Structure 1
Amino acid sequence: MKRVVITGMGALTPIGNNLNDYWANLKAGVSGAGEITRFDTSKFKTHFACELKNFNLEDHIPRSESRKYDRFTSYALVAVEEAVQHAKIDFETLNRNKIGVIWGSGNGGIETFTEEMIDYVKREENPKFNPFFIPKIIADIASGVISMRYGLRGINFTCISACATGTTAIIDAFNYIRWGKANMIITGGSEAPITAAGLGGFTASRALSTNNEQATTASRPFDKTRDGFVMGEGAGALILEEYEHARARGANIIAEVAGGGMAADAYHLTGTHPEGEGAFLGMNEALEDAGITANDIDHINLHATSTPIGDQSELIAVERVFGTEPNLKLSATKSMTGHLLGAAGAIEAIASIKAIEDGTVPPTINTKEVDEDWDKKFDLTLGKAQAHDIRYAMSNTFGFGGHIATAIFKRFE
C-alpha cells in the first residue's frame, strides 16, 4: 500500500487561534478555561468552559457568507485555510478530482438548532424557520463547504463517532489514500458545543466538572479530585497526502501516518469499560497496522478527559499494552484545551505531530495528587514540558457509545 504523509496543519483552539500559538501555549502549559461569556450560565451547575480567545470570525469569513453557516462550519474553514497555506497548495496545478475531504463533528450545528427552536416557540402567531436551518445543522455540511471552497471533487463525507470523531476521520483519510482512492485528503474536525443545550446536556449526564471556583485548573487528569471534563471548542485540520504526490509537487513533509486502529467498548452508553477493553484492542490494532511493537512508541497523547472512570480505565489499558515502559512519556493535553469533543482527535493529532517535529512532550497541567499512584508506573509529564526524542507518537480518542480510535504518527525518514 501507498505511504501517507502530513504536509500541512491548521489549528483553532482555546489556547491559540493558529498552529504556532497553539503549540507554543501547549508547551508552556497554558490553561484555556474560564467563565463562559457567550450566554447566561446562572441556571446551570457549570459556569465555565474553554472558549476561543480574541477571535473575530469576520477577520476570516465575510458576514455575508458566515451567516449561512453554523459556528462549527466556520471554525472548520478557518483551520483548513491555515492548513492549505501551511502545505503551500496550489490547487490549480493539481488534479482536484483526486483530492477529497473527510471531516468530523460530533454535534454539528447544535447552536443553530438551539437558537432556531427557541425562536420558533417565541413566534406564536407566525412560527417559521430560517431557510438555512437544515444546511446549518447537518454534520456533513462542513466537509461539503470545504470542498466547494477549493473546488475539490474527490471523496467527500463526514464521520461521527462522538469524541473519537477527529481521529476516525484521520484514519479514514489515511486508508483512502493508501488504497489509492485519493492523492490528497483534507481531514480533521470542528466543534462549537458551548451552548445552553450543550452545557445542559453534558451536565445532566454528569460528564462535566462543576468546579466553578477553580475553573482554570478544573481539567486535572488523573488527579484524585477530578470531577469531569471541561468543554472546549475549535477545529484542527490536517493535509494528508500520498508520498509520491507530495514529492512531485515539492511539498515539505512534516511527518508520516504510520497506522490506525478502531474498536468498541461494547459496554455502556457514556462510560468506558472499567478494564479499558476497547482501548486495549484499539491500541493493539493500531500497532499491528503500523507494523511495530509497543516498545517502539515513545509518546502517547492520552484521551484523558479528567473523568473519574475514564482516566482510570485508559491507564489500565495502557498498562495492559505497554507494561511500565520507562521510555514512554504520556501527556493529557485536554488539561489545557479542554475537551473539543469531535475536534479533540484532530487537535491532539496535531499536538502529537508537533511533539515529534519539535522533540518535546507537552505537559499534563493542574494535576497535584495522582490517583492510584499511576505516576509511579508512568511518566505523566506533570507540570512541565519535557524534551524527548520521539520517533513514534500515539494519539488516543474515545467516545460516547464506546467508540475507540487510535492513530500512530511517525517521524518522516
Structure 2
Amino acid sequence: MTKRIVVTGIGATSPIGGTAEESWQALLAGASGARSIEAEWVEKWQIPITFAGQAVVPAADILTRQETKRLDPNSQFALIAAREAWADAGSPGVEPERLGVDWATGIGGLWTLLDAWDTLRERGPRRVLPMTVPMLMPNGGAAAISMDIGARAFSRTDVSACASSTESIANAFDHLQAGLADVIIAGGSEACIHPLPIASFAAMQALSKRNDDPATASRPYDVTRDGFVLGEGAAAVVLETYEHAVARGARIYAELLGGSVTSDAYHITAPDPEGSAAARAMLTAITNAGFTPGDVAHINAHATSTPVGDIAEYNALRRVFGDAVEGIPVSATKASTGHLLGGAGAIEAVFVIKALHERLAPPTINLTSQDPEIHLDVVTSPRTLPDGDLLAISNSFGFGGHNAVAAFKTL
C-alpha cells in the first residue's frame, strides 16, 4: 500500500534570510544575497571572483560557542536549519527508533580540512585538533542533527554534487514508504565560500565575473548570463506519513509525491546538452506520482545562470512538456540565493512548498533580456497560482551527471 507523505516543518538559513520565512519573504521582494566578500584572503590570494551569496545571519550568532567550535560551518548551517524545521513541525513526539535523518552535502567539511592542512604545514602535527576528522566528514551534518533530536532509526548522507539534497528528499520519501521511520528530517547544507573552490570554479569559467555588481550577477535565462554565484547555507524539511501527521494534529504545508534520480553518464562537469537523462528524471517523478506532464502547474528550475547549463535544462524541459512548457510558470530562485551546491535542492524545495502552500510563484530577478533560444514563461514578479490541486516539481542537476527531481502537491 502506498503511503501519503506530507511536509509538516521547514527551516532554512540562506544568503537572503536567517530563517525559512525570512528567506521566502526576501525572495518575494526580489532580494539578492550576492555581495562582496570582506575577507583578507581575497586580496592575499588574488582571488579573481570577489563576491558570493554569503549567509545573511552568521552561524555564530545563533549557535553556542561550543557548537561553533566543534562543528564545521557546513554542519553549523545544517543544525540551524534542522532545528528550525523541527520546531516548526511542533517537535513531533516520536519514538527515537522511528525517527530518521536523510541529509546531504556536495562537498562537506571543507573549511575544517583546509584549515587543518594549513595548521599541519605551518605548526606541525601536534597542533592539529583531535576533532578534525569528525568535523570534516561529509556526514557531520547528519550526525549533528541526529544527536540533537535523538534520531535512531538511521542517519544517512547523500553526496551527489548539486543534486544532493533533492536526492536526500527523494530518499526520505522511499524510506518512509518502506516503513523505516515515521518521521524524517531531510535536506542539505553547504559552506564552501573559501579561496580554493572559488579559484577552482573560476578556473573552469563557471562563476559570474560581475565583481562590480554582485547583486545582478546571477541571471538565469538572460542573454548576458556568464556563470553562477556561489552560495552557502542550509534548508530542511520535516516529512512524515499523513496518518502520523493527522493523528498528532500537525499543520501540513504540502504533500511530497516522491522523487526520481538518474545519471547522464556523459561528462564529469558538463550536462548532456540533449537533456535526455534529466528529462527522464522529471518524467519519472511525475508519472510515479500518478500524474502526467500536463498536470504540472509550477516548476522551480535548476537554472544556475551558466550559458551551457540553462540551455541543457531547457532542452530537457522541452523533451518532457513539449510546446506546453511555454505555459508553465517557471521560477529560477538561484538568481536571488546564489547556488548553494549540495544545499540548493533543499532551499528550492522549501520555496516550492511555500509556493504551493501560499499559491504564489516566486520571482526570478535580474532577467532583463531573455535568451531567444529559451522559450519559457519565467516568473519575474510574484504570480498567483490557480485554485484546485496543484502539482509542482523542483529540479536539481550536478557535476558527475547527477539528476534529481522532487514532486510536490497541494493538500
Match of 1:387 among 381, 384, 388: 384
Does structure 1 conserve the Cα–Cα contact (< 8 Å) formed by 2:67 and 2:76? no
1:255 maps to 2:258: no
Does structure 2 conserve the Cα–Cα contact (< 8 Å) formed by 1:2 and 1:179? no
Does structure 1 conserve the Cα–Cα contact (< 8 Å) formed by 2:361 and 2:384? yes
Residue 150 of structure 2: aligned partner: 151
Residue 83 of structure 1: aligned partner: 85
Residue 107 of structure 1: aligned partner: 107
1:24 maps to 2:25: yes
Alpha-carbon distance, 1:183 to partner: 0.2
Matching of residues 65-214 of structure 1 within 5 Å: 65-91=67-93, 94-123=94-123, 128-214=127-213
**Could you tell me how far apart the structure 1 residues matched to 2:48 and 2:39 are?**
16
Q: TM-score scaled to structure 1, two decimals?
A: 0.95
**One-letter amino acid of the counterpart of residue 385, structure 1:** P
Could you list the runs of 5+ residues in structure 2 that have no partner in the other structure?
none
**Could you tell me how far apart the structure 1 residues matched to 2:135 and 2:196 are?**
16
**One-letter amino acid of the counterpart of residue 198, structure 1:** P
**Per-residue CA distance 1:332-381 (angstroms, 9 max, x = gap):** 0000000000000000000001000111111111111112342xx32111
**Could you tell me how far apart the structure 1 residues matched to 2:50 and 2:209 are?**
8
Moved more, 398-407 or 246-255: 246-255
Does structure 2 conserve the Cα–Cα contact (< 8 Å) formed by 1:164 and 1:345? yes
**Could you tell me how far apart the structure 1 residues matched to 2:328 and 2:99 are?**
36
Does structure 2 conserve the Cα–Cα contact (< 8 Å) formed by 1:83 and 1:237? yes
**One-letter amino acid of the counterpart of residue 357, structure 2:** E
1:269 maps to 2:271: no
Q: Structure 2 vs 1, CA of residues 268 and 97 (structure 1 numbering), >3 Å: closer, same or farther? A: same
1:64 maps to 2:66: yes
**Could you tell me how far apart the structure 2 residues matched to 1:66 and 1:41 are?**
23
Q: TM-score scaled to structure 2, two decimals?
A: 0.96
**One-letter amino acid of the counterpart of residue 73, structure 1:** S
1:48 maps to 2:46: no
- List structure 1 segments (4+ residues) > 4 angstroms apart after TM superposition: none
Alpha-carbon distance, 1:65 to partner: 2.5
Structure 2 SS opposite 1:259: strand
**Could you tell me how far apart the structure 2 residues matched to 1:345 and 1:266 are?**
21
**Could you tell me how far apart the structure 2 residues matched to 1:241 and 1:77 are?**
19
**Per-residue CA distance 1:118-148 (angstroms, 9 max, x = gap):** 1211125x65421111001010111111111
**Could you tell me how far apart the structure 1 residues matched to 2:40 and 2:103 are?**
28
**Could you tell me how far apart the structure 2 residues matched to 1:273 and 1:173 are?**
27
Structure 2 SS opposite 1:319: helix
Structure 2 SS opposite 1:142: helix
**One-letter amino acid of the counterpart of residue 188, structure 1:** G
Residue 33 of structure 1: aligned partner: 34
**Could you tell me how far apart the structure 2 residues matched to 1:237 and 1:259 are?**
16
Does structure 2 conserve the Cα–Cα contact (< 8 Å) formed by 1:324 and 1:378? no
Instruction: Give RMSD over aligned pairs.
Output: 1.3
Structure 2 SS opposite 1:298: strand
1:305 maps to 2:310: no
Residue 11 of structure 2: aligned partner: 10
Alpha-carbon distance, 1:7 to partner: 0.4
Alpha-carbon distance, 1:214 to partner: 2.0
Structure 1 SS opposite 2:261: strand
Q: Structure 2 vs 1, CA of residues 39 and 71 (structure 1 numbering), >3 Å: closer, same or farther? A: farther
Does structure 2 conserve the Cα–Cα contact (< 8 Å) formed by 1:99 and 1:183? yes
Matching of residues 301-380 of structure 1 within 5 Å: 301-325=300-324, 327-374=327-374, 377-380=375-378
Q: Structure 2 vs 1, CA of residues 73 and 39 (structure 1 numbering), >3 Å: closer, same or farther? A: farther
Does structure 1 conserve the Cα–Cα contact (< 8 Å) formed by 2:59 and 2:73? no
Structure 2 SS opposite 1:67: helix
**One-letter amino acid of the counterpart of residue 378, structure 2:** L
Percent of residue pairs bearing the same amino acid type: 43
Does structure 1 conserve the Cα–Cα contact (< 8 Å) formed by 2:327 and 2:376? no
Alpha-carbon distance, 1:90 to partner: 4.2
**Per-residue CA distance 1:32-74 (angstroms, 9 max, x = gap):** 1110124432312111000012x24344221122201100101
**Could you tell me how far apart the structure 1 residues matched to 2:52 and 2:147 are?**
32
Alpha-carbon distance, 1:259 to partner: 2.3
**Per-residue CA distance 1:82-127 (angstroms, 9 max, x = gap):** 1011100244xx2110100010011101011111111211125x65
**Could you tell me how far apart the structure 2 residues matched to 1:365 and 1:186 are?**
30
Could you list the runs of 5+ residues in structure 1 that have no partner in the other structure?
none
Residue 396 of structure 2: aligned partner: 397
**Could you tell me how far apart the structure 2 residues matched to 1:379 and 1:84 are?**
35
**Could you tell me how far apart the structure 2 residues matched to 1:193 and 1:130 are?**
20
**Could you tell me how far apart the structure 2 residues matched to 1:184 and 1:36 are?**
39
Does structure 2 conserve the Cα–Cα contact (< 8 Å) formed by 1:361 and 1:386? yes
Q: Structure 2 vs 1, CA of residues 225 and 327 (structure 1 numbering), >3 Å: closer, same or farther? A: closer
Does structure 1 conserve the Cα–Cα contact (< 8 Å) formed by 2:174 and 2:258? no
Structure 2 SS opposite 1:268: coil
**Per-residue CA distance 1:144-202 (angstroms, 9 max, x = gap):** 11111111111211011100001000000011001211101001001001011221221
**Could you tell me how far apart the structure 2 residues matched to 1:246 and 1:120 are?**
50
Aligned residues: 405
Residue 278 of structure 1: aligned partner: 277
Residue 224 of structure 2: aligned partner: 225
**One-letter amino acid of the counterpart of residue 278, structure 2:** A
**One-letter amino acid of the counterpart of residue 89, structure 2:** A
Structure 1 SS opposite 2:372: helix
Structure 2 SS opposite 1:299: strand
Moved more, 345-354 or 244-253: 244-253
